[in-house]
Amino acid sequence: MSRAWLLPEHIADVLPAQAFQIEALRRRLIDQASRRGFELVIPPLLEHLESLLSGTGHELDLQTFKLVDQLSGRMLGLRADTTPQAARIDAHLLNRSGVTRLCYCGPVLHAQKAGPGTSREPLQFGAEVFGHAGPESDLEIQDLALEVLAHAGAKHPSIDLADARILKGLLAGVDLDPLALRDIVESLSRKDAASLGSQVAGLPEPARDGLLALLDLFGGTQVLQRARGLLPRHALITAALDQLEWLAQRLEADHPELVVSFDLADMGGYAYYSGVRFAIYAQGCAEALARGGRYDEVGAIFGRNRPAVGFSLDLKALSGLTDAGSVGAAIRAPWGDEPAFKNAVRRLRDAGETVVFDFPGTQAQECGHSFDRELVKIAGQWVLRPV
């Protein structure tokens, strides 16, 4: 026997019970987004590499599987994230003047594993608002993310807010090469005061003090007040703090059980995000269940620099929040081809029942369904009886 059944690392089949659950979640999420006016799009899995990586930074490049197109000889990538594709569709294909709301649901592929226990083939659901720069569209996206997570069974949710403009404000006018910036962002994310101290030692005083102050600016809403005292009064920083406060007030009012917290030192994805960024967690999940934020620059390469805010999540991870149920009750039937039998079966299926044939010479005893009734012929009539 060969080992042909072995799958690559961090790649897995989804078997019936979980697939059934993911399908139900998928429909509910698309419907919830649709009821807010988000329109479904299905971008391709394969694109020219430069389109997939437009304005997205180094991380997405490393995560992207690359291959050569036999038809053109050009380099293609398998999408590792659907957001740049949604931005391309908004900018180039729809090209509307008003607000566009798009959602999508499909696989993405990661060349490397993104975190412990994560799949290299997440089933990504996401939603994006294009063409509106105000905080109302940030709130719409966060509210939708919280709603779909609640319906998917996320308990005791918390949202962690940050803002890419704080870093931009602190470093405004400072000449810093990209590698040095990357190191600073990494030290900030790890709250590594020693490394950060030496990395910022040569910077102008307001930038240096501000970056060091970020290390302690995490926690509840009091963080914003402290930040106003500790950070320089740059327009970008003030705008960020005002908007974080505006969002936190509304999130707390609309979602009474939600814990709102801030981590102003978290600049992950700084090359990508241009405003408020968020991650939503739930009890029992070490990793964030949904991530999103504002990324107004992503559409630029497609010829249209529209305001944009969105979020995405992995339906496979989300389906782990609740136990996989059974595929549901079903009716066992013999196989037959007399018209009365076929009519009886058709009527039951049209009414939404699952009717499974026992083919001649077999028994459907192991087919994953739990049979609670069977179709039998009694006194010339096809009737259901419990089993």
Q: Which of the residues 283 through 322 are near its own copies (CB under 8 A)?
A: 301-303
| Residue 62, strand partner residues | none
User: What gap in Å lies between CA 120 and CA 136, rounded to an integer?
Assistant: 33
Is there binding between residue 325 and its own copies (CB under 8 A)? no
* x/- letters, 225..254, toward its own copies (CB under 8 A): -------------------------x--xx
Smallest gap from residue 141 Cβ to its own copies (A): 12
Q: How many residues bind to its own copies according to rule CB under 8 A?
A: 106
Comparing CB distances to its own copies, the nearer of 4 and 379 is: 4
Q: Tell me, what amino acid is at 94?
A: L
Is there binding between residue 117 and its own copies (CB under 8 A)? no
Is there binding between residue 368 and its own copies (CB under 8 A)? yes
User: What gap in Å lies between CA 269 and CA 59, rounded to an integer?
Assistant: 8
Q: Tell me, what amino acid is at 138?
A: D
| Residues of this chain, 161-220, that bind its own copies according to CB under 8 A | none
Q: In sequence order, what are the residues at sequence separation of 6 or more whose Cβ sits closer than 8 angstroms to the Cβ of residue 98?
A: 131
User: What gap in Å lies between CA 41 and CA 169, rounded to an integer?
Assistant: 35
Smallest gap from residue 90 Cβ to its own copies (A): 11
**In degrees rounded to 5, what are phi and psi of residue 269?**
70, 25
Instruction: Determine the interface stretch with its own copies among 159-167, 265-273, 356-364, 374-382 (rule: CB under 8 A).
Output: 356-364
Instruction: Determine the interface stretch with its own copies among 22-30, 157-165, 255-263, 288-296 (rule: CB under 8 A).
Output: 22-30
Lookup result for tokens 């740059």: 234
Using CB under 8 A, pick the residue from 57, 59, 107, 218 that binds its own copies. 107
Comparing CB distances to its own copies, the nearer of 13 and 175 is: 13
Is there binding between residue 387 and its own copies (CB under 8 A)? no
DSSP 138-167: HHHHHHHHHHHHHHTT--S-EEEEEEHHHH
Is there binding between residue 222 and its own copies (CB under 8 A)? no
Instruction: Determine the interface stretch with its own copies among 32-40, 199-207, 214-222, 270-278 (rule: CB under 8 A).
Output: 32-40
Among 256, 314, 251, 254, smallest CA distance to 288 is for: 314
Other beta carbons less than 10 A from residue 306's beta carbon: 22
Comparing CB distances to its own copies, the nearer of 135 and 293 is: 135
Q: In sequence order, what are the residues at sequence separation of 6 or more whose Cβ sits closer than 8 angstroms to the Cβ of residue 54?
A: 84, 87, 88, 298, 300, 301, 302
* x/- letters, 35..64, toward its own copies (CB under 8 A): xxx-xxxxxxxxxx-xx--x----------
DSSP state of 27: H
Using CB under 8 A, pick the residue from 114, 180, 327, 376 that binds its own copies. 327
Tokens, residue 178: 């990209």
